[in-house]
Amino acid sequence: MGQGRQEKVATSLAGAVSEEISASLAPVDAELERHYPGDPGTRRPVHTVYVPGDAFAADTVRSWGDRALAALDEHAPDAASFGAVLGLGDELAGPVHDRVRAKLEREPVEDLRVDFEDGYGPRPDAEEDEAAARAARLIAEAYAHGTAAPYMGIRMKCLEAAVRERGIRTLDVFLTGLMEAGGLPQGLVLTLPKVTYAEQVTAMVRLLEAFEKAWGLAPGRLGFEIQIETSQAILAGDGTATVARMIRAAEGRATGLHYGTFDYSAGLGVSAAHQAGDHPAADHAKAVMQVAAAGTGVRVSDGSTNVLPVGPTERVHAAWRLHYGLTRRALARAYYQGWDMHPGHLPTRYAAVFAFYREGFEQAATRLARYADRAGGDSGIIDEPATAKALSGYLLSGLDCGALDLDEVHHLTGLTRPDLNHFTTPTPRPRPSDGHA
């Protein structure tokens, strides 16, 4: 007694109907699994630093950190002055300033690309060969000695006819040098610039396949970023989104889409004075990239500003405010990575990132804790699994870059890092190595 009457459940469809539907959708299931595996769940660097191939040296990472610290000492030596420049409230100025300095001392660069494209320019072949071999040696030594940035690699020349052979040779010299020095580092990242047609992406895939075969590497070991710098990379002549085709053409090897602010803007006829990451043309391009990449595991990166924080303090402060504002704007639009072209950009890159995560930390942690406890009724917000995934991803990103500490996250959420990882990627899937581990 006490259970009450059990309702009789009736159905009208035969079991064969469900089986037929499942069979008809099996190709779609496979398509979703293959092309939309979701975010890889690996660490996402907050920026990419570009250093010309002839300027890259063994101490580049440490030198950038030291120069950034020197800029702080000269132009904003304490939390109050730094906060005043960027408009940080008293409650944020101290923690952000302290964490920025600690970051510059501990890990000033998260992702570095030795540049053999626009930042390098045409050189005699022997000179570029030597620079590519030297980059491989220095990067291999940095990983061996524990002095490397978490992610490092090169930006080769593009696969357009005029520089194709040179680009292929530089990539070959660089990768061969790494293999001869002991193998490909886990943090290796490659960037293919000025991609206009999906066929160029396919050619890059074939190139990497050939290298893997030559060295007996596992298929798919080498991934690469696609740099979006032309209008044709966004919209094809038939009106379709070319960038979506490029992701498919990469056959699972694409790890990122990087927006090229100035080449793209110039190609659309935007005058030099108005070429910036917040121009409407830039917003449109990045929005298309973002939608094309959603769910594919390919991450989108913003570009850079060409306004450098150099010269008198007043000029440095103006450049810092611009860079800080552009970075915060990008973060709000879910572009969690961007380019930094000068050591003076590092203080405001990290200030913007740290402020972004610290401002939203308590709310995100509280919401995730309520979701984990299934007790969100009195919060005024009912979150779904997709939101829990976003909240945990937000906290993990804050932890990875140094904006948050594990102890404070655990204190508010009651969750461990494995717990957060479970919410973000409940069913991890192996992906071609992109270095972002």
For residue 377, the model assigns a pLDDT of 45
Kindly report the average pLDDT of the chain as a whole number.
Answer: 93
- pTM score of the predicted model: 0.91
The two tokens of residue 86 are 């960027």
Q: Evaluate whether 110 touches 401 at the Cβ level (below 8 Å).
A: yes
pLDDT tens per residue, range 72-98: 999 999 999 999 999 999 999 999 999
Task: Give the rounded percent of residues in the chain with a pLDDT score beyond 90.
Answer: 86
The count of other CB atoms within 10 Å of the CB of residue 121 is: 12
DSSP string over 14-61: -HHHHHHHHHHHHHHHHHHHHH------S---SEEEEEETTT--TTHH
pLDDT tens per residue, range 222-274: 999 999 999 999 999 999 999 999 999 999 999 999 999 999 999 999 999 99
Distance CA 292, CA 257 (A): 10
DSSP string over 270-287: --GGG-STTSHHHHHHHH
For residue 376, the model assigns a pLDDT of 45
What is the arithmetic mean of pLDDT over 409-425? 90
What is the arithmetic mean of pLDDT over 104-109? 98
Q: Phi and psi at residue 75, in whole multiples of 5°?
A: -110, -15
Distance CA 41, CA 282 (A): 27
Q: Evaluate whether 433 touches 222 at the Cβ level (below 8 Å).
A: yes
For residue 383, the model assigns a pLDDT of 62
Q: Does pLDDT of 387 surpass 90?
A: no
Q: Does pLDDT of 345 surpass 60?
A: yes
CA-to-CA dists, residue 326 to 28, 205, 414, angstroms: 40, 33, 34
For residue 428, the model assigns a pLDDT of 43
Nearest to 101 by CA among 399, 346, 310: 346
What domains, with CATH codes, occur in the chain?
47-356 (3.20.20.60), 361-424 (no CATH)
Q: Does pLDDT of 3 surpass 80?
A: no
The two tokens of residue 325 are 């504002």
Q: Which residues are CB-neighbours of 44 under 8 A, at least 6 positions away?
A: 299, 336, 337, 397, 400, 436
The count of other CB atoms within 10 Å of the CB of residue 74 is: 10
CA-to-CA dists, residue 347 to 50, 242, 316, 353, 397, angstroms: 16, 36, 11, 10, 18
Q: Phi and psi at residue 321, in whole multiples of 5°?
A: -65, -40
Q: Evaluate whether 299 touches 44 at the Cβ level (below 8 Å).
A: yes
